[in-house]
């Protein structure tokens, strides 16, 4: 897998101009982008289509959690746009995930990625909504469910990557948000409860990392991306 495409740059912006500015600054070096609910609501599908038209991979982070028919329709819409990944909530259960996988079958480039537990949550948050499981237990349970439903991969914290790789085997994609560069870089703080450095996530078994503000708010985002690609390239060469 192309190292550059393993690094998904999160376009967590509230204007099209700000998002496009980062894409322009990264140029050919930026190969994969995450478009989430905020930017999609502001920009609409045209921005996703523009990225695809420029040859970029698009991780459409919709976190779908609806009735199966609606989920399938949204997945088909993502496929028609040319997205390479779309997220569905594993908490929705097997029927929803299976509907998503069936809908994606007509789009060879599209992978259904199941969100296990949102990376901002901790054990106390699960307890507050009536779940007795720990984060680790819940992540593992939902990842198994996603694999049985035919999902192509899961979203999980970098700190869950090693156990999931052992649990799921070599073929499942593991996409890890919550990766960050050194703490406090560029005045940013992590919104994730269980963050880790990108190289640690890859070593643990992640196939993709999602990196946001510590790259996009850097004085020179292209230099940060180049350094990160170099680090991951060396890691791959020695693995």
Residues acting as catalytic residues = 63
Q: From 180, 189, 176, select the one nearest 212 (Cα to Cα).
A: 180
Closest CA to 107 of 47, 68, 60, 65: 60
Distances (CA, A) of 215 to 37, 69, 155: 20, 37, 20
Question: What is d(CA 121, CA 135) in angstroms, rounded to the nearest whole number?
Answer: 8
CA distance 39 to 205: 29
DSSP string, 167-206: HH-SSSEEEE--B-SSTTGGG-----SS-B-HHHHHHHT-
């Amino acid at each position: 897998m192309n190292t550059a495409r393993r690094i998904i740059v999160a376009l967590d912006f509230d204007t099209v101009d700000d998002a496009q500015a980062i894409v322009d600054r990264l140029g050919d070096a930026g190969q994969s982008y995450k478009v989430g609910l905020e930017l999609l609501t502001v920009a609409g599908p045209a921005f996703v289509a523009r990225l695809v038209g420029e040859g970029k991979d698009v991780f459409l982070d919709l976190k779908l959690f609806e009735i199966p028919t609606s989920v399938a329709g949204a997945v088909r819409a993502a496929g028609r746009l040319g997205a390479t990944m779309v997220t569905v909530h594993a908490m929705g259960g097997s029927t929803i995930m299976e509907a998503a996988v069936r809908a994606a079958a007509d789009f060879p480039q599209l992978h259904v990625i199941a969100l296990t537990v949102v990376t901002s949550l901790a054990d106390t948050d699960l307890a507050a909504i009536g779940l007795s499981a720990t984060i680790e237990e819940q992540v593992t349970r939902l990842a198994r469910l996603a694999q049985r439903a035919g999902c192509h991969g899961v979203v999980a914290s970098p700190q869950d990557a090693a156990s999931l790789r052992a649990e799921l085997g070599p073929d499942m994609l593991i996409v890890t948000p919550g990766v960050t560069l050194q703490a406090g870089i560029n005045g940013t703080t992590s919104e994730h409860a269980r963050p880790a450095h990108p190289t640690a996530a890859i070593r643990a078994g992640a196939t993709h990392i999602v990196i946001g503000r510590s790259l996009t708010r850097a004085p020179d985002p292209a230099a940060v991306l180049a350094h990160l690609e170099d680090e991951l390239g060396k890691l791959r060469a020695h693995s």
